[in-house]
Amino acid sequence: MNTFHSKLSSKVMASIVAILWLLVLYSVLFLTRVDPQQQMAQKIFYYHVPSAWTAGLSYLLVAIFGIIYLFKKDEKWDHFGYAAAELGTLFCALVLITGPIWAKPIWGSAWSWEPRLTTVLIMFLIYIGYFLLRNFGEVNERMRRISATIGILAFANVPIIYISVKFWNEEAQLHPQPAMGSQPTDVYWTFILSLLTFTFLLIYLFYYRVHVLRLEAELFRKRDGL
């Protein structure tokens, strides 16, 4: 039986992600310096920021695949959009978990109504609705169109949410804004490596989910005798 990992390209991809992941872990634990102010809490930055980057990228992809689906009506684009939505929400959850772990010792409270954090939370909630919608109804052509629409709506809303939250709570403690170019080499390269690892992980998981969704669709078609 041909599984996803029967293909050489999938095996290579999985190996690259595993090696990169170990390299990042080693680099974060042993190669990067301990920040004199934030101590060990700062190290979560190497996972928190790349998670946010991959979540944002995934949601952008959901909107792009959604637009393409509405025009082309090809099931492939729905699979792409749905897989990207799942991964975006997974990485969003990682952002929402790692954020408070860092914020508790640094800001003194686990949550702050900071624009970026709040935008991520709102996107997460919109996508919970998106998945409930897909699970509550039969996944047919109409449902795919609706999913594409919600993906587009959610992404179009991001700048408005961000700006409104920013002005709503101007005194909120903001995310640190380190200029990455001026960071010491160990911090800079570990961060870049982590960013690369998360991007590869996203690509790998994306292809895996698309493969599973395609198999599911084939199974349903065979079941229905189409």
Instruction: Please identify, using beta-carbon distances, which residue of 46 and 127 lies nearer to other proteins.
Output: 127
Q: Is 44 in the site for other proteins (CB under 8 A)?
A: no
Tell me how far, at minimum, the Cβ of 146 lies from other proteins, in Å.
4
Cα separation of 9 and 106, whole Å?
42
Instruction: From residue 206, give the alpha-carbon distance in Å to each of 58, 81, 132.
Output: 9, 10, 20
**Residues in binding contact with other proteins, number by CB under 8 A:** 31
From the number of C-beta atoms within 10 Å of its C-beta (0-12, 13-18, 19+), residue 8 rates as: exposed
Token pair, residue 199, equals 């991007």
Radius of gyration of the chain (CA): 20
Residues 138-167 that bind other proteins (CB under 8 A): 142-143, 145-146, 148-150, 152-154, 156-157, 160-161, 163-165, 167
Max CA distance (Å), the chain:
65
171 near other proteins (CB under 8 A) = no
Distances from the Cα of 45 to the Cα of 63, 87, 145, 168, angstroms = 27, 20, 37, 26
Residues in region 45-104 near other proteins by CB under 8 A: 70
Selected binder of other proteins within 34, 104, 109, 168 (CB under 8 A): 168
In terms of CB distance, is 3 or 138 closer to other proteins? 138
| Of 79, 15, 84, 56, nearest in space to 161 by CA | 56
Closer to other proteins by Cβ: residue 113 or 220: 113
Structure tokens at 181: 């170019």
| Interacting span for other proteins (CB under 8 A) from 21-29, 53-61, 120-128, 203-211 | 120-128
- Give 6 or 135: the residue with its C-beta nearer to other proteins: 135
- Dihedral sign computed on CA atoms, order 103, 108, 111, 113: negative
Residues that bind other proteins (CB under 8 A): 70, 122-123, 125-126, 128-130, 132-133, 136-137, 142-143, 145-146, 148-150, 152-154, 156-157, 160-161, 163-165, 167-168
